[in-house]
């Protein structure tokens, strides 16, 4: 009896079956976990029907943050945000047409996440992105162009102000923002310019920003504090310039051909 039972058991087949059971379970688990952000989706087929797909969303989990505080995911009401846009046509999937200033309203390429309105921190608990007037251990190498003092121009070539300081990333040493003192025609205040949108001309000591026209600098999202930028402010500022690549001029929204 014993020899008959053991002779019918295929160890390789058992291991193969266990592997597939484990693998399917792992995929199911990971697919649920990746729905902690961005779900439920909202259907554009009418009303506010929630779209979860299969498998369903996981139950909320509380994460303890490194520097104190807690964050729950999925977050209740995380996607509850009015969109200042309307469909171009009544059929599902129609593109949205902005009804206000899309660069400020967070529409399309100017979209931003509803992140925490607190500064990002380094492992040591310091503000990660700060101006060099605070991070005095940072400096610009002599072989590189120092943007401070350079004039800033919009895509129309009009002067909008002068770079007064550099904002650096303490965790990954690099220039993150340029702080621009805008002239009176553009509000006479300080505004941050993401370094990725700055075309620096070392010879002419000038910076051109193709994303915006000169008059649009006055609406660059401002900071609540002059010496720190929050995660939400970072996203809003970057979204404003990114949106300008598409919305700054009506002609940019048209096809190239």
The whole model's pTM is what? 0.81
Do 155 and 248 fall within a single domain? yes
The two structure tokens encoding residue 161: 């102000």
Whose tokens are 């370094």? That residue is 195
- Which residue, of 42, 57, 75, is where some domain finishes? 75
In Å, how far are 7, 31, 206 from 19, measured between CA atoms? 22, 18, 62
Do 66 and 156 fall within a single domain? no
Instruction: Tell me the CATH number at 35.
Output: 4.10.540.10
Do 141 and 55 fall within a single domain? no
Task: Indicate whether 112 belongs to any domain.
Answer: no
Q: Which secondary structure element, helix H or strand E, spans residue 105, and what is its range?
A: helix 102-105
Do 133 and 248 fall within a single domain? yes
Task: Indicate whether 248 belongs to any domain.
Answer: yes
Task: Indicate whether 83 belongs to any domain.
Answer: no
Identify the band that residue 38 occupies on the pLDDT scale cut at 50, 70 and 90.
Answer: confident
Identify the band that residue 4 occupies on the pLDDT scale cut at 50, 70 and 90.
Answer: low
**Nearest Cα residue to 177 out of 121, 106, 234:** 234
Do 43 and 148 fall within a single domain? no
In Å, how far are 109, 110, 167 from 178, measured between CA atoms? 22, 20, 6
Range 223-234 average pLDDT = 94
Do 56 and 171 fall within a single domain? no
Do 232 and 135 fall within a single domain? yes
pLDDT at residue 47, as a whole number: 56
- What gap in Å lies between CA 127 and CA 75, rounded to an integer? 25
From 20-24, 44-48, 149-153, 244-248, the region with the lowest mean pLDDT: 44-48
pLDDT at residue 18, as a whole number: 95
pLDDT digits 0-9 by tens, 63-94: 888 877 888 888 765 556 778 888 888 887 78
Identify the band that residue 220 occupies on the pLDDT scale cut at 50, 70 and 90.
Answer: very high
Q: How many Å separate Cα 10 from the centre of its chain? A: 53
Task: Indicate whether 181 belongs to any domain.
Answer: yes
Q: What are phi and psi of 214, to 5 degrees?
A: -55, -40
Do 133 and 21 fall within a single domain? no
pLDDT at residue 45, as a whole number: 59
DSSP line for 134-154: T-TT----TTS---TT-EEEE
Q: Is the pLDDT of residue 33 over 70?
A: yes
Instruction: Tell me the CATH number at 151.
Output: 3.90.50.10
- What gap in Å lies between CA 110 and CA 187, rounded to an integer? 22
| SS3 label, residue 206 | strand
- What gap in Å lies between CA 242 and CA 247, rounded to an integer? 9
pLDDT at residue 80, as a whole number: 62
Task: Indicate whether 180 belongs to any domain.
Answer: yes
Number of domains in the chain: 2
- What gap in Å lies between CA 236 and CA 113, rounded to an integer? 8
Task: Indicate whether 104 belongs to any domain.
Answer: no
**Nearest Cα residue to 209 out of 251, 180, 252, 168:** 180
**Nearest Cα residue to 188 out of 217, 150, 213, 227:** 217
Task: Indicate whether 49 belongs to any domain.
Answer: yes
- Which residue, of 75, 91, 107, is where some domain finishes? 75
Give me the helices (H) in 124-230, please.
none
**Nearest Cα residue to 60 out of 35, 27, 31:** 35
Range 229-234 average pLDDT = 95
In Å, how far are 26, 89, 213 from 93, measured between CA atoms? 33, 9, 31
Do 55 and 143 fall within a single domain? no
Do 133 and 56 fall within a single domain? no
pLDDT digits 0-9 by tens, 154-198: 999 999 999 999 999 999 889 999 999 999 988 899 999 999 999
pLDDT at residue 188, as a whole number: 92
Query: What is the extent of the structural domain holding 54?
Result: 10-75
Task: Indicate whether 3 belongs to any domain.
Answer: no
Do 68 and 135 fall within a single domain? no
Q: Is the pLDDT of residue 105 over 60?
A: yes
Do 133 and 249 fall within a single domain? yes
Q: What are phi and psi of 100, to 5 degrees?
A: -135, -140
- Which residue, of 57, 75, 93, is where some domain finishes? 75
């Amino acid at each position: 009896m014993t020899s008959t039972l053991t002779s019918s058991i295929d160890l390789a087949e058992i291991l193969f079956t266990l592997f597939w059971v484990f693998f399917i379970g792992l995929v199911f688990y990971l697919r649920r976990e990746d729905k902690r952000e961005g779900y439920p989706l909202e259907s554009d087929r009418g009303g506010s029907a929630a779209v979860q797909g299969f498998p369903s969303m996981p139950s909320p989990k509380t994460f303890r943050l490194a520097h104190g505080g807690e964050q729950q995911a999925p977050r209740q009401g995380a996607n509850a945000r009015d969109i200042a846009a309307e469909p171009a046509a009544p059929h599902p999937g129609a593109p949205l047409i902005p009804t206000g200033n899309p660069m400020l309203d967070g529409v399309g390429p100017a979209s931003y996440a509803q992140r925490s309105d607190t500064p990002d921190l380094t492992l040591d608990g310091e503000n990660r992105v700060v101006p060099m007037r605070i991070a005095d251990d940072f400096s610009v190498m002599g072989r590189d162009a120092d943007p401070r003092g350079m004039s800033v121009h919009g895509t129309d070539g009009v002067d909008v102000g002068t770079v007064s300081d550099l904002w650096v990333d303490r965790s990954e040493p690099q220039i993150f923002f340029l702080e621009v003192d805008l002239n009176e025609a553009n509000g006479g205040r300080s505004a941050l310019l993401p370094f990725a949108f700055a075309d620096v001309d070392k010879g002419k000591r000038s910076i051109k920003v193709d994303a915006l026209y000169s008059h649009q600098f006055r609406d660059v999202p401002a900071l609540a504090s002059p010496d720190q930028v929050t995660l939400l402010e970072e996203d809003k500022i970057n979204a404003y310039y990114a949106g300008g690549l598409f919305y700054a001029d009506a002609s940019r929204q048209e096809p190239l051909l």
